[in-house]
Amino acid sequence: MIKIDGLVEKIIYRNDENAWTVALVTTEDGSLTVTGNAIKIEIGKEYTFEGDFFVHKKFGEQFSFKNLNEHIPTSKDGIIKYLSSGLIPFIGRRMAETIYKKFGDETLLILDKEPEKLLQIHGIGAKKFEKISEYLKANKDASKVMYELYRYGISPSAAFKIYTLYANETLNVIRENPYRIADEIKGIGFKTADSIALKLGYKKDSKERIISALKWTINYAVNDGHTYLPKDVLIKKSSKLLEINEDLIEDQIINLQFSKYFYLEKINDQINCYKASMYKEENYVAGKLTKLSLQKFELKNNIENSIKEIEERKNIKLAENQKEAVKEALTGGLTVITGGPGTGKTTTLKTIIDLAEKENLKTVLAAPTGRAAKRMEEATLREASTIHKLLEITPNSDYFEIEEIDGDLIIVDECSMVDLFLMSTLLRAVKDNSRLVLVGDKDQLPSVGAGNVLSDIINSKIINVVYLNKIFRQEEGSLIVKNAHLINSGKMPLIDNKSKDFFFIQSPNVNESLNTIVDLVKTRLPDFKNYDSLKDIQVLSPTKKGLTGVDNLNKVLQENLNPQNKKEEIKFMDTIFRPGDKVMQIKNNYNLQYKIETENYHEEGQGIFNGELGFIESVDADSDTMTIVFDDVKKIEYQRENFSELTLAYASTVHKSQGSEFPAVIIPLHSAPFMLMTRNIIYTGITRASRMVVLVGEIKYLKTMVENNHQNKRYSSLDRKLIETMEKRKIYGFI
C-alpha cells in the first residue's frame, strides 16, 4: 500500500451511520480527494493515509485509504483549523485564534495535558470548559477502545456504532457476550458480532450463535415492515447466516418460543413465526377494532335533515358516498374513510365535525405527524395534534400510563402512515363507547414501521369502509388531481405545459436538471406565481444519493438560497447551519423544550417530532446553540448534542414528505434504485402538491415509475386476525 501525508482541508461527505468519508486533503504535490471509513477525521489535522490510487468515472483520480494515522498539527494554520473545525464545542474561528495567541505552538499539548488552562481564555467559563473537557476526554478514551476493536477485525463503521452505545464499557461487553451488539445496535449485523465470537472461540453450532442469528433475522424483518415470517423463510434466511444443519436451527426456534421471545402460529399447513411482541400487538388491535366496529349510536337529531341543513347553509352538495361516510361516522363505533386527492375527504370531515358538535359530541382530531396535524387544523379550523402528543407518548411510555382520550368522536387522518405499534397504542387510549374514524389514502406509501394497518383493515372486509371516488377538486385546466388518479391506475399522466398546474421539463442531462431545479426554486416559480422559495416550494426526490438526490440538492440549494454572506454559522460534520436555513427534525425528541409566544398567547412545553419543518432564526457559534422556529411560532433552542437530529430541508425524500402538503412541488426524475422507482412513490410525491407540480428529468423514468407497481411483500396478518376475531364473537354470542 502507498502512504501519503496530508492536511484535511474539507470534509466533502460523511455518513454518520457507517463513518464513510470523502475528504479534500492538501499534500506536498497539491490537493487530493481521499475516500474511506474513518472513525475520527477532523478538518485542520494532518494524517498519514495508507491505501491506493484509483480513477473515479465521474470525479477522476482519488485515493482510497484503508488506514489513517493522525499527526499532531504543528503549524499555526493547522492548529487554528483543527480548533475551529466545528467538532469542539464553543470553539469557532475567533476563539481558536484567541487560544493560539495565548498558547502558541503548545496549544494542542495543553489541550491534552492541561486543558484547565483554557479557563484563562476570556469567553471560556466553567460551563463551557466542562463541555470542552468532556469532548477532549471522550476523544482520548475513544482512541484506546477503537484500537482494540480493530484488533478484533471490526470495520471502522461498525466500531463507530459500537463505541457510540457502550463507550468505555465496550470491551467488557464484547468479551462477555459479543452477540449483544447484533441484538442491541441498529445497523450492526449478525456477521459482525459472529466474526468476533468465532475469534473468541464460540463454536459454529453453539446455542448462543444460533439464537442470535434467529433474533437478528426476525428483528430485521420487523424493521423491514413485517409482523412475522413463515417458519421456512425464517430458517432459510438464518441458515444463510449460520451455514449449519437446519434441524439445529429448528430446535432453537422452539427454545425461543419457550422463552417467549417467539410465538409460533399454525395456519393451515404453514407455521408463522412472530416476535412475541408483534403477535400481541396484532391480536390486541384486531380485538379492539372489532369491538369498536360493533358499536351503534343513536342521534338526537335526524341525520338526513342535519345533512340537508349543512348543505344549504354552506352552499355545498355532498355526493352519496360522502353522505354515507357522515352517517357511518356518527352512528357507528368504527368507520374507515378512504379516497385519493380531490375526492372530498376534507369536506366530508368538516361535515362530520359540524354535525358532531350539533349533537354535543366532543371531537378530537389527530394525525401521525406534525405537518399532517397542522394541515388538519387548517382544513377544519379545529385544533388537531399528533398522535404522540395526544397520548403523551415518550420512549419510556408504559401502556398502563396512557390515559384514555377524553372524546366522543376521534378522527385520525393520514392513517396509511400509522404502523402497528402506534395503532395499538392509540386504541388502548380509545374508550369503548367512543366513535373512531380512520381517514387515509390506501394507495400511498405504507408506514415506515411494521405492519400494513390501513390496507389490512380495508382488505379484511369486516370493518365498515366508505370509498370516496367522485373527484371534486379540479378547476378548469387543472391536471394535478386528474394526473394523480391516472398514475394510480397505471396510466401515464397528461403532459401539457399549457396547463395551469402540471408541468414536465425534459432534461436528459442530470447536471442540467440540477441547474433547472435551482432556477425554478430561486427565480422562475417565485416570478411566475409569487411563491416564496422557502415556504411555498418543496423539492421532493425519490432518493438521497446522486446529483439530484436529497443530500446534494440540499447543499446546492443552500448555496443558492442562503449563501454564507458573512452570516454567523455552525459547522456540524458535513453540514453547515446558517440563520434562515430550512431544516427538518428527523427523529422524535420528547425532551426538547419549546416556547410559543404571540401577542395574545403563551405556551411552554416539550417535544418535537420526526418530519417537522422549521427555519433557523439565530446561530450562536460561541455558545454552540441554534434557535429554530417551527410552524412560525414554536421556538426551540438546540445544543450541539441535538444537531444530529436536524437536516437541511430545501429538499427531502418523498417518504419524509408524507402527511405534508405544499403549494408547489418539484420532483427530479433520473436514474435511481429500482425499489425507489415505483408508482406509489411518484403518486405520493405528486399528491403532496396543492397548486403546482413540476417534473424535471427524463420521460422514460416517469414511465418506469408509472408502470412499476412493485411493492415489497409485507408479511402481516391483521386482516386475517380481524376476520377470525369477528367469527369468534359470532360463535360466542357477542354479536
Span 316-350, pLDDT tens digits: 999 999 999 999 999 999 999 999 888 899 999 99
Residue 716 — φ and ψ, nearest 5°? -140, 155
Lowest-confidence range among 388-392, 530-534, 626-630, 687-691?
388-392
Alpha carbon distance 311, 314 (integer Å): 5
Q: Does domain 491-590+641-707 have CATH number 3.40.50.300?
A: yes
Confidence of residue 16 (pLDDT cuts 50, 70, 90): low
List of residues 6+ apart from 128 with CB closer than 8 A: 89, 90, 623
Contact at 8 Å (CB) between 73 and 46?
yes
pLDDT at 26 over 70: yes
pLDDT at 139 over 80: no
Predicted pLDDT at 60:
82
Predicted pLDDT at 226:
96
User: What is the three-class DSSP state of 62?
Assistant: strand
Taking only Cα atoms into account, the Rg of the chain, rounded to an integer number of angstroms, comes to 28
| Lookup result for grid cell 466542562 | 130
For range 205-228, the mean pLDDT: 93
Q: What CATH class has 281-471+723-731? A: alpha beta
Contact at 8 Å (CB) between 75 and 32?
no
Query: Per residue in 580-618, pLDDT tens?
Result: 999 999 888 888 888 988 777 888 888 888 888 999 999
Predicted pLDDT at 591:
83
The single-letter code of the amino acid at 8 is V
What region does 162 belong to: left with phi over 0, alpha with psi -120 to 50, or beta? alpha
Predicted pLDDT at 157:
61
Sign of the alpha-carbon torsion through 416, 420, 426, 427: positive
Residue boundaries of the structural domains of the chain: 2-147, 178-274, 281-471+723-731, 491-590+641-707
* DSSP code for 520: I
Percent of the chain at pLDDT above 70?
95
Predicted pLDDT at 477:
58
Average pLDDT over the chain reads: 89
Residue 696 C-alpha cell reads as: 424535471
Residue 649, CA distances (Å) to 61, 357, 374, 575, 615 in order:
32, 39, 18, 12, 9
Contact at 8 Å (CB) between 462 and 293?
yes
Predicted pLDDT at 406:
94
Confidence of residue 155 (pLDDT cuts 50, 70, 90): low
Determine the topology of domain 2-147 in CATH: OB fold (Dihydrolipoamide Acetyltransferase, E2P) (2.40.50)
Predicted pLDDT at 148:
72
Among 295, 409, 297, smallest CA distance to 353 is for 409
User: What is the three-class DSSP state of 639?
Assistant: strand
Instruction: Identify the H or E element spanning 306.
Output: helix 303-314
User: What is the three-class DSSP state of 33?
Assistant: strand
Predicted pLDDT at 253:
94
Among 422, 424, 459, 426, smallest CA distance to 442 is for 459
Predicted pLDDT at 569:
87
- What is 687-727 written as a DSSP string? TTEEEEEEEEE-HHHHHHHHH----------HHHHHHHHHH
List of residues 6+ apart from 382 with CB closer than 8 A: 353, 363, 365
Beta bridge partners of 11: 23
Confidence of residue 93 (pLDDT cuts 50, 70, 90): confident
For range 67-79, the mean pLDDT: 76
For range 365-376, the mean pLDDT: 89
* DSSP code for 40: S
pLDDT at 276 over 70: yes
pLDDT at 629 over 80: yes
Virtual CA dihedral for 517, 518, 522, 523, nearest 10 degrees? -70
Put the strands of the sheet holding 435-440 in their side by side order.
384-386, 363-367, 409-412, 435-440, 334-339, 465-468
pLDDT at 310 over 60: yes
User: Is-same-fold flag (281-471+723-731; 491-590+641-707)?
Assistant: yes
| Lookup result for grid cell 458535513 | 574
**Domain 178-274: assigned CATH number:** 1.10.10.2220
User: What is the three-class DSSP state of 558?
Assistant: helix
Beta bridge partners of 366: 385, 412
Confidence of residue 294 (pLDDT cuts 50, 70, 90): very high
